[in-house]
Amino acid sequence: MRVLVVEDDEEMAQTVAVGLRRAQMAVDVALDGPSGLERALFNSYDVIVLDRDLPGMHGDDVCRELIDAGCGSRVLMLTAAGTLEDLVDGLNLGADDYLPKPFGFPALVARIRALARRSYPALPPITRHGDLEVDTARRRATRAGRVLDLRPKEFSVLEVLITASGRTVSAEELLERVWDEAADPFTNAVKITISRLRTKLGDPPLIETVSKSGYRI
C-alpha cells in the first residue's frame, strides 16, 4: 500500500510517516499544498492523508483539484477542528473520510487501511494458488501448511503478485507499490527481494520471470 502524507508540521509528518512504514506501508511526504497536489497527480497512491490547514494552497483546494482531475486515490482529511460542520464541509469537497486532531495512531492506521480496501475490487482475505496460501489480513503466508518466515517487503511483493491473478507485474510497479519515493529507481532491491522470496517459497518454483516484462505467479 502506498500513502501520501500532506502535512505542514514537518515533525508530525515524519512521525506519521515512520509509524506508517512500521505498519508496512510505503509513504511519501509533502509539506505544503502545491507540492502535495503535484505528487498526488504525478504518482499513484492508495490513500492521501491531507491536512486542511496547509501553506501555499489550502487543503480544501487541494482536495477539490484532485477530484476535478479524476484522481483515484482515497482522501483522508485531517484538521485541528472537529465540529460537525467541518466534517460535512470536508466530505462535501469529495474527501472519503475525516479525522480530527489530535488523533490516536491506531485509529489513523485503521482508517487508512479501510480506505485502501475501498480503492480496489473486494478481494478475499485469504488468497490461494496451489499449495500457497496468503492471508493478507494477518500478513501470514504458508506453503503446503508450512509457515513462511517472510520479511515485510517479501510479504508485500508476494501479496502484489498473488493478487495480480496471473498478470505480469513489472519491477517498476513493484517498486512503486512496495517501496516509496526514497527508493533509488535504479536499485536492484526488487531483484534481490524476488530472489529471497523464491528461496523461501521453495520448490516447485512459483514465481516466473517474464522476459523484459516482470514477474508473475
User: Of 116, 112, 94, 204, nearest to 163 (Cα)?
Assistant: 116
pLDDT at 34: 96
Residues 11 and 96 in one domain: yes
Residues 80 and 165 in one domain: no
Residues 143 and 207 in one domain: yes
pLDDT at 205: 92
Which range marks the domain in which residue 79 is found? 2-118
Name the pLDDT band for 88 (thresholds 50, 70, 90): low
Mean pLDDT of the chain, nearest integer: 86
Domain boundary among 84, 99, 118: 118
Residues 90 and 147 in one domain: no
Residues 7 and 104 in one domain: yes
Query: What's the number of domains the chain is made of?
Result: 2
pLDDT of residue 131 exceeding 70, the answer is yes
- Which tens digits make up the pLDDT trace of 92-127? 777 888 888 888 899 999 999 888 876 655 556 788
- Which tens digits make up the pLDDT trace of 141-160? 999 999 999 988 899 899 98
pLDDT of residue 208 exceeding 90, the answer is yes
How far apart (Å, rounded) are the C-alpha atoms in residues 193 and 16? Answer: 26
pLDDT at 101: 83
CATH of the domain at 36: 3.40.50.2300
Residues 112 and 130 in one domain: no
CA 86 distance to own-chain centroid? 26
Residues 137 and 162 in one domain: yes
Domain boundary among 81, 98, 118: 118
pLDDT of residue 67 exceeding 70, the answer is yes
Residues 150 and 71 in one domain: no
Tell me which range, 1-5, 35-39, 210-214, is most confidently predicted by mean pLDDT. 35-39
H helix intervals, the chain:
10-22, 33-42, 59-68, 84-92, 105-118, 152-163, 171-178, 189-201
CA 210 distance to own-chain centroid? 25
Residues 114 and 7 in one domain: yes
Name the pLDDT band for 161 (thresholds 50, 70, 90): very high
Residues 68 and 170 in one domain: no
Tell me which range, 55-69, 72-86, 182-196, is most confidently predicted by mean pLDDT. 55-69
Residues 78 and 184 in one domain: no
pLDDT at 11: 93
CA distances from 205 to 126, 153, 191, 200, 217 (A): 21, 19, 16, 10, 9
How far apart (Å, rounded) are the C-alpha atoms in residues 195 and 110? Answer: 32
Residues 139 and 81 in one domain: no
Take residue 38 and report the three cell numbers written for it.
503535484
Task: State phi, psi for 63 to the nearest 5 degrees.
Answer: -60, -45
What does the DSSP 8-state code read for residue 42?
H
